[in-house]
Each structure stands twice: as C-alpha cells, then as structure tokens.
Structure 1
Amino acid sequence: MKGDLKCISGLYVGLVLTLYACTVIVQLDAASETKTCFQKKSPCFLKKQTCPNQCPSFSPPNGSSKSCVVDCSNPICKATCRNRKPNCNGKGSACLDPRFIGGDGIVFYFHGKRDEHFALISDVDLQVNARFIGLRPSGRNRDFTWIQSLGLIFGPNKKTFSLEATKAAKWDQQVDHLHLSFEGTEISLPKRDSSAWSAPGGYIQVERTSDINSVLVTIPDIAEIWVNVVPVTKEDNMIHKYGRPENDCFAHLEVQFRFFRLSPNVEGVLGRTYREDFKNPAKPGVAMPVVGGEDRYRTVSLLETGCNACVYSGGSGSLDKIEPLLLNQNTIDCTGGSSSGVGIFCKK
C-alpha cells in the first residue's frame, strides 16, 4: 500500500512539474514577437516565424545587445538573433581605414582619397556613396582615409538620404555625433534607444540601436544598414602612426550592409563582391590587401549617381532581373550557440 502511495505521489509530482514547464514555455513563446513573410518568391512565403527566447523582439528595449531578425530568403524559415551594431568581422562590413569584407567573405582595403566620394554600392534601384576623410603624414605616398558619411539614392523617384559623423576635436561619449537628413531636410531623432523615424510613404526607416551614435537604416525590400560612429583613438593613432592632429579625432562610421535583393550586375567598391562572376584581386596572405578602383567608382558628390562603372537607373531597369540574395551575410550573433546562425553553425 505504501509503495502504491509513493508511486502515485511520484506520478503527481512529475505531472505538476511537466505542467509547470509547459506553462513557462507557453509564456516565453507568448512574449516572443512573430513576423510573416509576404514576399511571393520567398521560400518562406506566408510562413510565420517566432523570435528565439534569446532575442524575443525585433525592437528590443534599452540596453539589449541582440535583436530578432527574419530572413525571408533563407530556406530554413527560422527567425534568429543578430547584433544591434555593425559586425566589423562580418560580410558586407566597412570599418577602420577602411577595411571591407565583401559578399565573398574576403577582406580587402580600399583607401580612395580624402575629401572625395566613392560608390560603395551601385545597383538598378540603389546607390550608396561614401565621403572619405583623412590625412597624409609627411613621407607617405597615399592618404589614410575613413568613411565620414553615406549618401543613399534609391527607388524610382530617386529619393535621397544622408548620414554623417560630425567633426569633433575631442571625442565625448555623451554627445551624439550623428547627423541625418532625408531629401535635404534634417531629421530629428530623439536620443534614446529604439527611438525611430519613418519617411512619409514608408520609403525609409531609421531606428536608434543605442541612445546615441548608432542606428539601423532600413529601405524596405532592398537593404538594411547598421551604422556606428567612432573616433580614431589615441591608441589607434599611436599603433598605426596616423599622425592625427590634436584638434580633430576624425569621427567616422562603422558600417555593415544586409541586402534583400541585388541584380547580377551590381557594381561599387563593395557591391561588385556580391557578383557571381567577381574574382577578388586581393592577394591572399598579405596583411593589408589593397584593392583599387578609385577611377571606376569616384562620384562628383555624396548624392551623385554617376561614375565610370555605376549602374543606378532609378529602378527603370527590368525588375525581373533583380534576384533575391540567398547568401548568408553574417549579421548574426553566435553567443547563443548554434541556433543563433542564419543557416550556418557557429563554432568557436
């Protein structure tokens, strides 16, 4: 009899624990946001994706380091986590002076020239130009350069958006060094994490990913751009012998792109690396493989679409030729284990 009571008691405890665990799981799932893919050509068309527990929100609260991302072009059709700031070691990134990682995953440097503009991306319906700042210490045969601003031209009506790091003599962590404008009009974005702005008609959205100096720019169905403003520090200056003056910390941008679609003929310093026929001239084994192209990608100004190799046409080209990009673009975060990847496994 006592044995039977112990058995019944054990079954009861097990049932209670199981019900409790199921309740917790349901509560966690309920707290996670979901999104459905409506892109008809997507392998995930009409499939609902739920954010992981490690990053339950697409726009997480202040202080969160990860947010949820849905990639409708990925056949796994599973929401994953991503860093909220540019990953300078991920594909589509442009950081430092400037160090790029192309769509082919190869690291290369493009120095350009200070106070000039170059097309990073030039496609049928999107062009992204960059203005370089820099200096040339005595005895050097080229400039040290950094990306100071981005100019975006997109869509059939050639909408324009610019984002720049404002000049500062000394870096102040409490000051917002970002200046944003849409169609030539300055954008006022509250200085708090997750504050957002959207253009009339929803052509472009901007969301802060920290209180100041970091944003995510989204052009729906075309691209996402993570941006962070940083200075050239005294340590950087000493290590690389930049010769940075005392009255300018060379505030500049760290950038990472994620594309939803690109045409097979995409061009630009970075854009060309996403082409299937691109052969990267960066020499393997070289510490700083410098890739040229200044003459091909130089533009007259930040918002000028013309260059020797530019292909932007305001979307007037055949949209049938624009294909979804099915590449893993490394905007993921691997701190949550293998489940954090977008179709890949994270390894230490």
Structure 2
Amino acid sequence: MKTTSPLLLWLPLLLFAWVIESPVAAQQPEVAIPAAPGKSGPPVKPIPPLNGVVPKQVRCLSPLFPLCFNQWHNCPFECANTCFLDCVSCKPVCSCNTPGAVCQDPRFVGGDGVTFFFHGRKNEDFCLVSDPNLHINGHFIGKRNQKLTRDFTWVQSLGIMFDDHQLLVGAKRTSTWDDNEEHLYISFNGTPLSLDGPNWNYRNSSLVMTRTSSTNGVAIEVQDNFRITAAVVPIGAEESRIHGYNITNDDCFAHLELGFKFFNLSDKVDGVLGQTYRSNYVSKVKLSANMPVMGGIPKYSTSGIFAYDCTVSRFARANGTPVTGSGKVF
C-alpha cells in the first residue's frame, strides 16, 4: 500500500501561508480573484442619498480572507463611486487617500504620504514616473477658468512603458455619463483591447489585467514591477458647481482616478510622483498652503504620451529612441 509523503501533505498549507503574506495578495482590489458561484451574500442596506448621490456597494471577492469574503459595504460619500474593499481590514477604502493616488484636479498622494497638487497644462503630456525599467506619462485634459491663471486639469490617459512594451489606458470622451456604459480604453503595443463584459481579464507574460468593477475600472499588474488601479469617472454637476468648473452638457470631462503601487523602484526614480519614492526625497511643496502645489512644469513636460524626453527622464529603452504619439482617447 502506497503512503503519501509528509512533504506533499504540508505543501498546500505552506503555499497558502505564503500567499497570505504576499504584499500583492493583501492589496487585491474588489474582483482580483473571482468569487465562487452562488456564494454571494445579500447587499447591505443602501445609505440614503446625499445631494442626489447614492454610494455604490463593494465587497471582498478573495476567498483568502474568509471573515470578509463576499461581505457588502457602502462606499463613503467622499468617494461614493471610487472606493474599493480592503480585504485585510474588511473596510471600504477611498482610493484617492492612499500613497500613490492621483485623483481630481489632479491631487497626488506621494510615496512619502504627503498630499500635493500638480496642475500641468491642458492637452499636454507630463512624466509622472521615470525609472530605468518603467516610465509613465500622463495626458492632461482641462478647461480654462478666466478668473485663474491656470487651467483646471485632469489626467485623461496614461502611457506606460516597461521593457519594450507600451500600454495605453485612457478615458473616452463622452458628453453624458452612464455607469453601465464602458468609457475605458486600453491598448497594448498599439493594439486596442476589447473589454468584453464584467468578467474581462487579460494576460500576456508578466502583464495581468483584471476588472475592478463591471465597467470603467481595471487593475493592471506587471510582476515585480508595478500595480495600477484605474477608474474612469466624470465631473458631475454638483462637483462642477462646488469648484466652479462650469462643465456643460457637451463634455463631462471623463478622466482617470488612479492608484499606484511599485515593487522594484530604484533610488534614481523621478517624475512628478516617482521622485516621492526616493529614500532621500524631501517634499518641495508648501504644506501650509490651502492647496500645496508642486511647480516645475517644464522639467516634467514631454513631447508625447509614449515619449520619455522630459528633463527628469531615467528610462533606458533598448533602442534608445523616444516614441511620440497622442494621449487623446476618443
């Protein structure tokens, strides 16, 4: 009679323990691991609307966290449509309040935890992160307010370069907003990807992309390099009124709200966001200001969404030739 090796008996438990301790597993978004069919619990009672806003409900779909698995939670009002469920704490988290977040007009939370604004200029591209094996540009859209000396701006698309690959993630322009309509656009190495349905996912070597919501949300990860969550959101009428954006019905300024996590940055990393991850970085923004703004627009400016010719570039492509192109997504 054959006996099972003790090592084989312990192997599943050892593997499970390793996954639990993995920093990537602990940060999984709402749909990183599909739920088992028929296991979903009933949604919690919705929060009464505030100023016409009804927060969405999110849940943890990772069976690695059984005490939180499939429990529904309401998003807080301050991030009614852009929160995710942190499976570790089993609480909804505003993705715009964690280190690596880029949201709103655009508001950054640096790797050092310091919050600042970088307005850039509308219809231009800027280096957000630049490291020898990773370069990320942001294309800014915006609108001029005659009462200010700057544009209102938002990040409309990302141009992500790693190894010899180019990944474009952007928000399609739309005049009216519908949560059930797909406003997210993704292309990989110049080929547009078809985001087919709420369970869409994509794998190519070390690149993995999964849904974080049935529409307009995605998590992107390259093993041992980076993880990015991106959600397309509009400027709503109430937000426009509060901030004086004067957004009209011909364009709701759909844009990206982003969360970045990096696994292998060098201490040479630069860019609007990237520099804040250096071990010796000291914030240059005036923290006592009502709106701490990072200046230096010219040194972060680049000629295209896939160009790495900004002054602070650290990217080392094999062919050494900057690639230019538009960051516009239609």
Taking structure 2 as the reference length, what is the TM-score of the superposition? Answer: 0.72
Corresponding letter in the other structure for 1:249: C
- Which of the residues 100, 105, 123 maps onto 1:115? 123
CA 1:56–1:289: 2 relative to 1, 3 Å: closer
- Aligned match of 2:181: 175
Corresponding letter in the other structure for 1:104: D
- Aligned match of 1:100: 108
The count of aligned residue pairs is 265
> What does residue range 180-259 of structure 1 map to in structure 2 within 5 Å?
180-193=186-199, 195-199=200-204, 202-259=205-262
- The answer to whether the Cα contact below 8 Å between 1:92 and 1:101 also exists between their aligned partners in 2 is yes
- Which of the residues 288, 291, 294 maps onto 2:291? 288
Corresponding letter in the other structure for 1:149: S
Aligned residue for 1:34, secondary structure, equals helix
Q: Percent identity between the aligned chains?
A: 35
Q: Is 1:159 matched up with 2:162?
A: no
How many angstroms apart in 1 are the aligned matches of 2:221 and 2:118? 25
- The answer to whether the Cα contact below 8 Å between 2:201 and 2:208 also exists between their aligned partners in 1 is yes
- The answer to whether the Cα contact below 8 Å between 1:93 and 1:100 also exists between their aligned partners in 2 is yes
Q: Is 1:65 matched up with 2:65?
A: no
- The answer to whether the Cα contact below 8 Å between 1:189 and 1:197 also exists between their aligned partners in 2 is no
Alignment gaps of 5+ in structure 2: 1-11, 41-56, 65-86, 320-330
CA 1:237–1:81: 2 relative to 1, 3 Å: same
How many angstroms apart in 2 are the aligned matches of 1:35 and 1:267? 35
Larger Rg: 1
Corresponding letter in the other structure for 1:65: R
CA 1:208–1:85: 2 relative to 1, 3 Å: farther
- The answer to whether the Cα contact below 8 Å between 1:225 and 1:257 also exists between their aligned partners in 2 is yes
- Report how far residue 134 of structure 1 moved: 0.4
Alignment gaps of 5+ in structure 1: 1-29, 38-43, 71-78, 317-348
- Report how far residue 170 of structure 1 moved: 1.0
How many angstroms apart in 1 are the aligned matches of 2:133 and 2:63? 23
- Report how far residue 173 of structure 1 moved: 1.2
CA 1:168–1:261: 2 relative to 1, 3 Å: same
- Report how far residue 285 of structure 1 moved: 2.6
- Report how far residue 219 of structure 1 moved: 1.1
Corresponding letter in the other structure for 1:210: S
- Report how far residue 68 of structure 1 moved: 5.2
Taking structure 1 as the reference length, what is the TM-score of the superposition? Answer: 0.69
- Aligned match of 2:16: 34
- Which of the residues 311, 316, 321 maps onto 1:313? 316
How many angstroms apart in 2 are the aligned matches of 1:314 and 1:150? 18
Residues 38-94 of structure 1: CA deviation (Å, up to 9, x unaligned): xxxxxx9xx889x79xx9995143885335599xxxxxxxx9468898710000000
